[in-house]
């Protein structure tokens, strides 16, 4: 029998003799198909895994360019959609402005403000001698209020204008 102090790398046979153990990578053993490990490399290189890894890298390289083009087109599409929405909002605002400009009140107000025109049968007066600073401030204050309220309220009637003129003359 083998002594208990025998090296663990040896096996004992039935006859009592020790036979050398089968080392990995020895010819005729199951480990012969594998490449022997190098002392510095902890990973075994297997040809099937290496081929699969190379095929995976090639497939990824073939997908990079189409994916890059897809994402570029998607970004372009999103920019164009945002631009279209902004143009539609501007278009709606311009349509509302056109609708406002086509009203009789707007045309009358613009004729008075820009061209100093008055409806037929009315007389326009120019008041001189007002300080330049006060008249401009008063005009801006009333112009802004009239511009905001003028779109919502109708123009005063001829009778109300004559009544206002009469009150002004009496004072």
| Tokens 């490990």 belong to residue | 37
Domain boundaries defined on the chain: 46-121
How does pLDDT run across 54-106, given as a tens digit for each residue? 999 998 888 888 888 888 899 899 999 999 999 999 999 999 999 999 999 99
User: What would the two tokens of residue 103 be?
Assistant: 């009203």
135, 142 in Cβ contact below 8 A? Answer: no
How does pLDDT run across 11-37, given as a tens digit for each residue? 555 555 555 555 555 555 555 555 555
36, 42 in Cβ contact below 8 A? Answer: no
Distance from C-alpha of 51 to C-alpha of 34, rounded to nearest angstrom: 16
Answer with the residue of higher pLDDT: 155 or 137: 155
């Amino acid at each position: 029998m083998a002594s208990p102090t025998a090296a663990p790398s040896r096996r004992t046979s039935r006859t009592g003799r020790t036979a050398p153990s089968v080392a990995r990578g020895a010819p005729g053993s199951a480990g012969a198909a594998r490449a022997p490990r190098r002392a510095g490399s902890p990973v075994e290189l297997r040809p099937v895994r290496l081929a699969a890894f190379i095929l995976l890298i090639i497939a990824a390289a073939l997908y990079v360019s189409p994916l890059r083009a897809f994402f570029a087109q998607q970004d372009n599409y999103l920019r164009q959609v945002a631009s279209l929405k902004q143009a539609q909002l501007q278009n709606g605002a311009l349509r509302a402005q056109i609708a406002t400009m086509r009203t009789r009140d707007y045309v009358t107000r613009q004729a008075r403000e820009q061209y100093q025109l008055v409806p037929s049968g009315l007389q326009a007066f120019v008041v001189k001698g007002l300080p330049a600073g006060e008249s401009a401030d008063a005009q801006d204050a009333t112009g802004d209020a009239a511009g905001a309220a003028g779109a919502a309220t109708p123009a005063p009637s001829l009778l109300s204008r004559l009544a206002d003129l009469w009150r002004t003359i009496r004072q």
